[in-house]
Amino acid sequence: MSPHAYTEDQLVEQPAIGLFAALGWQTVSAMEETFGAGGTLGRETRGEVVLTDRLRAALAKLNPGLPTEAIQTAIDEVARDRSAMSLEAANREVYRLLKEGIPISIPDREHGGQKTERLRVVDWEHPEQNDFLLSGQIDVEAIAP
């Protein structure tokens, strides 16, 4: 037995990563993350917590035919700064967006004016259609207000 067999990494993290990989998730270690468009996670900085490129692709796939502006509005809503909220309120709000979709206003070409649509973030009926990523050892840096 190796001298480090009882570490959190060996007892918890690696078995969990293996389980999610077996379930079809993409797994990546961000221990030595590189930044930028071709980087490990596609983040520009450690302060970025939403993987916007992946989210943009998922929103476009789940909500075909919606304008680029609607997709960007939805991304902005998911990534909105909620630091002034309590942790509970912020988590509830993001959970609601994931569960119920993101309300956005788009042009109503049929009747004129605007109409509200809910952009789906998760395909609850066909979970295999979602983009699942497990990132281990991701470093997140708080951004000062």
Residues 6+ apart with CB under 8 A from 100: 118
Mean pLDDT of 57-70: 94
In tens, the pLDDT along 88-100 reads 999 999 999 999 9
User: For residue 2, is pLDDT > 80?
Assistant: no
At 109, is the pLDDT very low, low, confident or very high (cuts 50, 70, 90)?
Answer: confident
Mean pLDDT of 81-92: 95
Q: Where are the domains of the chain?
A: 8-136
Q: What is the pLDDT of residue 8?
A: 82
User: For residue 10, is pLDDT > 90?
Assistant: no
User: For residue 76, is pLDDT > 60?
Assistant: yes
User: For residue 138, is pLDDT > 60?
Assistant: yes
Mean pLDDT of 80-93: 95
DSSP assignment string, the chain: --TTTTSHIIIIIHHHHHHHHHTT-EEEE-TT---STTSSS--SSTT--S-HHHHHHHHHHHSTT--HHHHHHHHHHHH---TTS-HHHHHHHHHHHHHH-EEEEEE-TTTSSEEEEEE-SS-SS-GGGS--EEEES----PPP-
Q: What is the pLDDT of residue 38?
A: 92
User: For residue 37, is pLDDT > 70?
Assistant: yes
User: For residue 144, is pLDDT > 70?
Assistant: no
